[in-house]
Amino acid sequence: MTSLEKNPFRGGYAPVTEEITAFDLPVTGRLPEILNGRFLRNGPNPLDLDEPSPHLFLGNGMVHGVRIRDGRAEWYRNRWIRSDAVAAALGEEPRPGPRFDGLDSNANTHVIGHAGKTLAMVESGLPIQELTYELDTVGRYDFDGTLPGGFAAHSTVDPHTGDLHAVAYYFGWPDRIQHLVVNPAGRVECAVDIAVKDGPMVHDFALTGKYVVLYDLPVTYSTAALEAGVRLPYAWNEAHPARVGLLPRDGGGEDVRWFDIDPCWVFHTLNGYDDGDRVVIYVVAYDSLFVDARLDGGGPPGLERWVIDPASGSVKRERLDDRAQEFPRIDPRRAGMPHRYGYTVDTEELLVQLPRGAQDLSELPPPAFGAALLKYDFRTGNREEHLFPRGSYASEPVFVPADPSAEAAESVEDDGYVMTYVHNPDRNAADLVILSAQDFAGGPVATVHLPARVPLGFHGGFVFDES
């Protein structure tokens, strides 16, 4: 098998080879005046195309951003995260910053704005990388020395307090995970260790008014995988019981109550909330992950509603939709509160067929198919679809409220926009597509035409300038 055949970075995942700065981008339609900030997205974009065994989750991070102001798309930039390896490959000096346990970071999974900073994140204990407004790497960042270990790929802002919550894990911590709270000023004010076994991978969590909901699932650190040369040495572990935990928001690690569930895997939470004494979470669930070191999910990931009942000790799982999907998002003002709507991206072709069958993803089909965004109305059970033309591929749908200054309770939940990068096959370049969430299947409100491809990647959001 040639290195090309073994390379997961093909088709929609094929990396770009240049950093671009472009100004005054052409726009079709009308950009909403409320959009004053940057649409950012992070993802893997390997520099070393001769790497013999690349792994999709380990490619060098690259952040893509479009700056929008006063109805204009002022610029597009894409920048590699300057890990030491990337800086050296580009002939640059290494960036400064603290190294938890001596670690550097490719920071390839998420990018957020918090306390006036732009932060690129990854999981497994690796440091955050701070970026400038223009997406250049400042260096590794630990919330001014207040972060005791690594951070996490996913974090959730409590809309009531402005606190940023996350759950960290680290391959050097086989017996604990850590709940972190970063205050609005950008300092870690709470770090609670929670005892676990086997070093589980923890990609996300759920936040409710009362609890942090923890996932302790059967994907754990594997020395066997490490010795077999698996670059991401985590594996499905049938000996590791699957469970979810309720950590009271003001509790300690000893206060976690665990609930056994059937083995499964969850990358992402749509949302969670309290329903009386019960806890409800919406997740995208897989049957398994990393069985025989494959990225195979054991079947299409589907949208599920889990009800955790502390009184009975049960977790009731309900599959809401079998359609393969990922990257669930809601109105961020409703994080931890009941939600009516949710948005995901269809992955029938992109993320299910793509990883099925082989770790090297050699069966990746070229992106000669359409892609769809999905909108759910959980009150009516209705699902809407926004289908892009054949040959397109779309990524995470980010909801942006039409009036971000309004409280959730004061606003219509789907009064806003859904933004994502979409590959335009006619131009072989990306568009930033902005849909009206209330006219989801209709044509875009605005489309910003970028000068280059944006490869399929992971996560990001719209970062308002005042945030």
Q: Give CA–CA dist 93/298, Å, rounded.
A: 43
Tell the residue number behind the tokens 């599959």, with chain if given: 319
Tell the residue number behind the tokens 């969850």, with chain if given: 266
Enter the tokens of residue 211: 């609890």
Strand order through the sheet with 137-141: 110-114, 117-121, 128-131, 137-141
Contact at 8 Å (CB) between 52 and 64? Answer: no
Among candidate residues 95, 113, 112, 93, the one with its CA nearest the CA of residue 104: 95
203 is in an annotated binding site: yes
If DSSP codes are grouped into helix, strand and coil, which group holds residue 359?
coil
Going from the C-alpha of 220 to that of each of 53, 196, 350, 458, the distances in angstroms are: 21, 11, 25, 22
Enter the tokens of residue 157: 């802002």
- Number of C-alpha atoms within 13 angstroms, CB side, residue 385? 10
Phi then psi for residue 227, to 5 deg, are: -70, -25
Q: Give CA–CA dist 344/396, Å, rounded.
A: 7
154 is in an annotated binding site: yes
Contact at 8 Å (CB) between 404 and 461? Answer: no
Kindly tell me the sign of the dihedral angle through the C-alpha atoms of 7, 8, 10, 13.
Answer: negative
Phi then psi for residue 409, to 5 deg, are: -70, -20
Q: Give CA–CA dist 344/394, Å, rounded.
A: 10
**DSSP assignment letter at 31:** -
The C-alpha angle with vertex 423 and arms to 391 and 41, in degrees rounded to 5, equals 145
386 is in an annotated binding site: no
- Number of C-alpha atoms within 13 angstroms, CB side, residue 17? 2
459 is in an annotated binding site: yes
Enter the tokens of residue 334: 């409703």
Whole-number CA gyration radius for the chain: 21
- Where b means 16+ CB within 10 Å and e means fewer, 382-410 reads ebbebebeebbbbbbbbbbbbebeeebee
Enter the tokens of residue 421: 């990068």
What residues are designated binding site? 154, 203, 268, 459
Q: Which residues contribute to the annotated binding site for Fe cation? A: 154, 203, 268, 459
